[in-house]
Amino acid sequence: MTHDEFNALLDEPAIVAAIREAEARSTGEVRVLVTHRPVPDPLAEARRRFAALGMERTAQRNGVLVFIAPKSRTFAILGDTGIHRHGGDELWGGVAGAMGTAFRNGEWTAGLVRAIRMIGEELARHFPRTHEPDLNELPDAILRDPREPGE
């Protein structure tokens, strides 16, 4: 599936709403990044992108990146050290399993929304929002790689 085909199938307002809902219950930050490039090792690329996006600069190290490469039919979910220490690889494996099942059924938006809600539940459990206003440290929109000339 191409990047454009994948993006056309996403209900961006529903995904952004899920991100905002997850972040409203916690101090965590959730980002979704879709790349148009093929990615043979999505976890390594997610780590690279996580750092490039400055996601490790959240105050409680509780940012989570959902990285998707539709062209290679791969994805990864990566949490910063603050949230990772609470759930580890088991947490990310469970989220990835749910998202992968939905993706295999062609339920792209539902899979992303489900994953974001699962992430939000974990963030709320370990990093609940207090009564004080929380700073939205990272934008909620779906990120997409810019295309290079000739792509």
Q: Where are the domains of the chain?
A: 3-129+137-144
Yes or no: domain 3-129+137-144 corresponds to CATH 3.10.310.50: yes
* Residue 151: predicted pLDDT: 46
pLDDT at 67: 97
Averages of pLDDT over each 10 residues, the chain, 151 residues: 81 94 91 93 96 91 95 94 93 96 96 97 93 60 64 46
| pLDDT at res. 112 | 97
pLDDT of 69 reads: 94
* Cβ contact 66:100 at 8 Å: no
What pLDDT was estimated at residue 40? 92
pLDDT at site 137: 59
Confidence (pLDDT) at 131: 63
98 CB-contact burial (10 Å; exposed 0-12 / middle 13-18 / buried 19+)? middle
- Residue 96's pLDDT is what? 96
Give residue 50's pLDDT: 95
Can you give the pLDDT at residue 97? Answer: 96
Q: What is the pLDDT of residue 139?
A: 62
Identity of the amino acid at 11: D
DSSP 8-state secondary structure symbol assigned to residue 141: S
